[in-house]
Amino acid sequence: MQRALAVVALLSAAAAIAAAQGESPELLPFAVGAAPEGCDVGEGEWVFDEAARPWYAEEECPYIQPDLTCQAHGRPDAAYQRWRWQPRDCSLPSFNATGMLEMLRGKRMLFVGDSLLRGQYTSLLCLLHRGAPGGGGGSRSFETVDSLSIFRAKDYDATIEFYWAPMLAESNSDGAAVPDDRLIRGAPMNKHSSFWKGADVLDMSKDIVEMEAAEAYRLVLHQVTRWLEGNVDPKSARVFFVTASPSHAGAGGECYDQTTPVGAADAASYRGSTSRRMVQVAGEVLGASRVPVGVVNVTRMSELRRDAHTQVYREQRLAKPTAEQLAADPRSYADCTHWCLPGVPDAWNELLYWKLFFPARDEAI
């Protein structure tokens, strides 16, 4: 189950834009406008748009990991790439890669979390790569050292990074191996948070199971808010909470061989695996934070996309089946948690882009 936070620090440009528009100079960091009143971008429908989607081709993006390259691993259909998220009562602004890089000039953006958040991180790199191609002379670079991956846009003096900390707090999942029982420590987040300080943009995500998941989640979120309150200035930074990315595994919810989103006739009653209690806990804890936290609601939109998971079309790293085993029982090997790229995580980044640059008018310092 995916959760994410993003912290974004601002250049002084936002205040100047606000003044030019005759608005209060207390405009949120990075904001260049305001969302229409009553616009909930998390509610809407998926619209097939062959002309405008996908944003990029799988083979064009050099940053996609083999476990997310569904076409390269034999997926026979590509329609899952061509759906666009349309909010119910408003429209999303077009993602502007050059504009985003300009706003990140001289800044550091850091994603912290698990493999699902790494998928969103990779999606953002692909969107920037396609929308604002780098020049020659090594203007961009990418490297991974231990738990940290770093993308450098040298022309903008900007970095976009991913740090592996699947539960945010110190846990037995911090290494490469996945334990049967996941354990978190209730101590302060010193081990990981030392990597976060100085980041201008910070995306956080974690996966918690066992230990009464909702209460474990509450524990970690309390640690997160305490860290934010001690380290983030809301007048120069932004914080976002990205809601759960659902899994479609389990009885009646298998993703294998699905090729279209949940239809409009079934959408109202369809629910994926997302725990509503977890969403409630997040609202309670983050709502009480002294550092304002905006919500990027990707849960509902993602629940409708059981067709867009990697299924069996990925690099099989653990318990790799033989071709005969895969052919005999493909459902048991289908990954119904992670997403193909291009795909659903691109829409998550569209929502993050919207929330970052066009926050609701009631989201103010």
| Contact criterion met (CB below 8 Å) for 126 and 61 | yes
DSSP string for 212-278:
-HHHHHHHHHHHHHHHHHHH--TTTEEEEEE-PPPP--STT---TT--SPPPHHHHTT---S--HHH
Active-site option among 207, 309, 338, 346 = 338
CB 325 within 8 A of CB 269: no
Instruction: For Cα atoms 66, 311, 145, give the angle at the middle one, nearest 5 degrees.
Output: 30
Out of 73, 77, 115, 275, the active site residue is 115
**Who's near 358: CB < 8 A, 6+ residues apart?**
31, 32, 33, 34, 35, 93
Taking the C-alpha atoms of residue 109 and residue 100, their distance in angstroms, rounded to an integer, is: 11
**DSSP class of residue 333?**
G
Reply yes or no on whether 115 is catalytic: yes
Catalytic residue among 200, 203, 207, 335: 335
Q: Residue 27 and residue 29: Cα distance in Å, rounded? A: 7
Residues with Cβ within 8 Å of residue 76, at least 6 apart in sequence = none
For the annotated catalytic residues, the residue numbers are 115, 335, 338
